[in-house]
């Protein structure tokens, strides 16, 4: 079990809050091959026979919900507060007591539904999931990053749909209900919703939509709180065995809350573009089968996340990429994604800050060393180079 999971559970027990499910523990068939900005956590199901092959089950990690718990009870977490904690804290401070008391028992819906509605139902052509804030920036960067890696023939990116997730899906009881039913089916809900009857799910959807509709006043509205959409993720159904999940298009989803947060910390320009580079790297990993490795659990996640950072830094700094300076790229990567881990020990899911920094630096230096400077490495060659230096990146800091 990861330390992140254990520290989350400790807080949950204390507050009697309910966490998102971190792993989908059942069935060989069920793998949500998702990854997000550090926020998708490949979780290894605990095997009863250690020698048995271990399937990696991935669910979308919802960082805002974890940080919500952390902000509510900072003593229970080991990591230092960062910009995202301050941001989440400020949002919580802006709620009335009635709102806070509403949020706590309805967390799974508020933090989960916008994310999973976009996953299950979102399409690029649907106005409900259309890009709003930063639309031109995201569209342009999406086009550019696809072009940047287009020399790598193995990377098929034409079928990826770029879309947003918005909090206003929470106002629609039908969408909330449909999303919750699927979340329940895929074991993404915590008690009591995990075993709720269809009628109870309907009642929960109605309760949330009704409360949020009634509290639209004075220029701020709880349904639109950035916390519900403080995420960005990449999805590919390619490796799914479940027919429904398999049928979902490849997608890249950016939440309004994530864009808001980037603005709030002064990274509105570089942040979303670098994060696009990181998310696109996960698509490269899907396409090239790079999630397969000899590593398991947290170490496997750490490898793919550090590799995505390296890809993003390479794209971010490369003259034919974003051509940003390395510092700007690193800031953007760390601001959001380093906070994913509440424990920075060597088993941490996403690597320690120093490991993250080394991965990003390595990618940046590789870009700067391009000769001629228009040369772009093949995506698989990049991954092989990365794997060859991974031991140095994750070496203890004292070494
Ligand atoms: Zn990631």
DSSP 233-252: EEE--TT--SHHHHHSPPEE
Distance 203 CA to ligand 1 centre (A): 35
CA of 160 to the centre of ligand 1 (A): 16
Query: What pLDDT is stored for residue 49 in this prediction?
Result: 33
Q: How far, in Å, from the CA of 307 to the mean position of ligand 1?
A: 9
Span from the CA of 251 to the centroid of ligand 1 (angstroms):
14
Res 261: pLDDT: 93
Quick one: pLDDT at residue 42?
A: 30
3-state DSSP: the chain helix, strand, coil percent, rounded to 5? 55, 10, 35
For the CA atoms of 224, 261, 231, 163, the dihedral, rounded to the nearest 10 degrees, stands at 70
Q: What is the widest separation between alpha-carbon atoms in the chain?
A: 64
Expressed in angstroms and rounded, the spacing between residue 39 Cα and the centre of ligand 1 is: 6
User: Which pLDDT score is estimated for 169?
Assistant: 97
CA of 319 to the centre of ligand 1 (A): 23
Residue 35 CA, ligand 1 centroid: distance in Å: 6
Sign of the Cα pseudo-torsion (13, 17, 20, 26, in order): positive
Instruction: Tell which residue, 15, 172, 11, 8, has the closest CA to residue 101.
Output: 15
- Regions of the chain where pLDDT drops below 70: 1-61, 70-81, 215-219, 336-351, 397-399
The alpha carbon of 284 and the centre of ligand 1 are apart by a number of angstroms equal to 12
Residue from 273, 244, 250 nearest 155 by CA = 250
Distance 202 CA to ligand 1 centre (A): 33
| Cα dihedral value 122, 123, 124, 129, nearest 10 | -30
* Distance between Cα 37 and ligand 1 center (Å): 4
**Phi first, then psi: what are they for 232, rounded to 5°?**
-150, 140
The predicted structure's pLDDT at residue 218? 61
The percentage of residues in the chain with a pLDDT greater than 70, rounded to a whole number, is 76
- Give the span between the Cα atoms of 253 and 376, in whole angstroms: 26
What is the whole-number distance in angstroms between the Cα of residue 60 and the centre of ligand 1?
A: 10
Instruction: Name residues whose C-beta falls within 8 Å of residue 377's C-beta, 6 or more positions apart in sequence.
Output: 314, 366, 370, 385
Measured in Å, residue 186 CA sits from the centre of ligand 1 at 22
Ligand 1 centroid to Cα of residue 47, in Å, is 25
CA 36 to centroid of ligand 1, rounded, Å: 4
- Output the pLDDT for position 79: 58
Ligand 1 centroid – CA 80 distance (Å): 21
Cα(265) to centroid of ligand 1, in Å?
20
Q: For residues 22 and 342, what is the distance between their CA atoms, to the nearest angstrom?
A: 14
End-to-end CA distance of the chain: 27
Residues 70/12, Cβ–Cβ less than 8 Å? no
Distance from residue 99's CA to the centre of ligand 1 (Å): 31
Ramachandran area for residue 7 (φ above 0: left; ψ -120 to 50: alpha; else beta): alpha
Give the Å distance between the CA of 333 and the centre of ligand 1: 10
Distance in Å, CA 359 to ligand 1 centroid: 13
């Amino acid at each position: 079990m990861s330390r992140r999971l254990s520290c989350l559970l400790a807080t949950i027990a204390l507050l009697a809050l309910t966490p998102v499910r971190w792993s989908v523990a059942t069935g060989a068939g069920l793998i949500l091959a998702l990854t997000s900005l550090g926020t998708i956590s490949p979780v290894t199901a605990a095997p009863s026979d250690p020698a048995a092959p271990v399937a990696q089950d991935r669910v979308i990690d919802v960082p805002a919900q974890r940080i919500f718990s952390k902000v509510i009870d900072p003593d229970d977490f080991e990591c230092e507060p960062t910009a995202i904690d301050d941001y989440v804290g400020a949002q919580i401070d802006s709620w009335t007591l009635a709102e806070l008391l509403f949020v706590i028992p309805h967390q799974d819906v508020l933090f989960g539904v916008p994310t999973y509605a976009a996953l299950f139902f979102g399409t690029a052509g649907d106005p409900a999931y259309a890009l709003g804030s930063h639309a031109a920036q995201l569209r342009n960067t999406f086009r550019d990053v696809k072009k940047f890696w287009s020399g790598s023939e193995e990377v098929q990116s034409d079928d990826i749909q770029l879309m947003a997730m918005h909090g206003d899906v929470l106002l629609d009881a039908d969408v909330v209900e449909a999303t919750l039913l699927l979340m329940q089916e895929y074991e993404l809900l915590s008690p009591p919703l995990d075993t709720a009857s269809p009628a109870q799910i309907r009642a929960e959807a109605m309760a949330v939509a009704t409360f949020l509709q009634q509290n639209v006043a004075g220029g701020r509205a709880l349904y639109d709180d950035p916390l519900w959409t403080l995420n960005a993720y990449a999805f590919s159904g390619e490796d799914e065995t479940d027919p429904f999940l398999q049928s979902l298009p490849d997608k890249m989803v950016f939440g309004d809350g994530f864009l808001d947060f980037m603005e709030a910390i002064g990274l509105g320009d570089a942040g979303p573009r670098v994060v696009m580079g990181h998310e696109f790297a996960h698509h490269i990993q899907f396409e090239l089968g790079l999630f397969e490795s000899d590593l398991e659990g947290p170490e496997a996640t750490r490898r793919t996340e550090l590799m995505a950072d390296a890809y993003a830094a390479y794209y971010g700094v490369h003259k034919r990429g974003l051509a940003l300076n390395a510092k700007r790229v690193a800031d953007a990567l760390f601001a959001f994604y380093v906070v994913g881990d509440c424990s920075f020990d060597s088993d941490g899911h996403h690597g320690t800050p120093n490991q993250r920094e080394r991965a990003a630096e390595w990618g940046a230096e590789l870009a700067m060393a391009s000769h001629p400077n228009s040369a772009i490495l093949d995506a698989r060659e990049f991954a092989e180079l990365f794997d060859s230096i991974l031991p140095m990146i994750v070496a203890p800091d004292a070494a």
